[in-house]
Amino acid sequence: MWFKNLQIYRLPAPWPVTADQLEVALAPQSFVATGSLEMQSMGWVAPRPHGKLVHVVDRQLLLLLGREKKLLPTTVINQVAKAKAVELEEQQGFKPGRKQMKELKEQVADELRPRAFSIYSSTFVWIDPVRGWLVVDAGSAAKAEDVLKLLIKAVDKLPLETLHVARSPRTAMTDWLAADDGPGGFTVDQDTELQATGDSKATVRYVRHTIDPDDVRRHIAAGKQCTRLAMTWADRVSFVLTESLAIKRVTPLDVLKESSDVSSKDEDERFDGDFALMTGELSKMIADLVEALGGEENALRAAAA
């Protein structure tokens, strides 16, 4: 298993909380399916069937947040409420007023809720207590924040911080494009996005297209900066870096796929092997990327002090 997206946060390194301590903290917020009158439910589930809430492989911790959400479109509520309003008008001799219609819609929602269709989704969280990384496999910061809110609620005084680097990713990516060369250990791939800094927000995108250095430099000279850049690390992992320091479209390359033990027939062994491989590689990749972006800002402030 490999994360597709990386929303990266910082913990103290090493983080002293043990897997057993974390298990106890998460247990009160275990996932419970939505009741008949509830619209959504969220809680921790075991990453492996019949396992613990905290899955451990080589001191790396894996959590899984489950969500169940009922779909009850407003259009359906309005349609049923409109039909009931016609019946009510015939009974009372006049059209329902605004207050009465509001109450009618609330009544319809209560009646339909137990029959609403549910969708289930889940989000993985990887904690590296040795190096102090906490990574959420989420495509957006907002989705990651939902996960972190529940984790902060479970773990008292969780010392979690947003990852801050010395160089702005936007500035660094723009410089790499202008130089037509990635930082040490990284290569620049074919996908990128440049956006104007002015009010126009004019945007140029290259999608699976060879990037012409001269063309890119003209866009940069015109005031555009890089907001997304596809890169490859050490010929092992490809990804897209964004201006917010989120990492998307994470893909292990063939060299890693070949090194994975595909001969094992045990699903749990394959899962643990993939997780160990992923965490080992991504820990190094994140560290190299932070270094390429000038190091951590908090660490630099601490050194200066």
Average pLDDT, 10 consecutive residues per value, the chain (305 residues): 95 93 96 79 94 96 94 81 82 85 82 78 96 96 93 92 94 93 92 85 84 86 92 96 96 76 71 94 96 82 42
Whether residues 199 and 268 share a domain: the answer is yes
Determine the Cα–Cα distance for residues 79 and 5; give it in Å rounded to an integer: 39
Number of domains the chain is built from:
3
- Answer yes or no: are the C-beta atoms of 229 and 173 closer than 8 Å: yes
Whether residues 131 and 25 share a domain: the answer is yes
User: Tell me, what's the pLDDT at 261?
Assistant: 54
Question: Structural domain of residue 264, as residue ranges?
Answer: 169-304
Whether residues 89 and 156 share a domain: the answer is no
Output the pTM of the full model: 0.84
Q: Residue 124 corresponds to which tokens in the numbers above? A: 């993985």
Nearest to 84 by CA among 63, 114, 108, 62: 108
Whether residues 219 and 287 share a domain: the answer is yes
DSSP annotation of 69 reads E
Whether residues 209 and 265 share a domain: the answer is yes
Determine the Cα–Cα distance for residues 16 and 85; give it in Å rounded to an integer: 61
Whether residues 231 and 216 share a domain: the answer is yes
Whether residues 131 and 158 share a domain: the answer is yes
Residue 102 covered by a domain: yes
Query: What does the longest C-alpha to C-alpha distance in the chain come to?
Result: 79
The domain boundary residue, chosen from 130, 162, 194 = 162
- Scanning the structure block, which residue is given the tokens 């390194």? 13
Whether residues 65 and 80 share a domain: the answer is no
Whether residues 142 and 224 share a domain: the answer is no
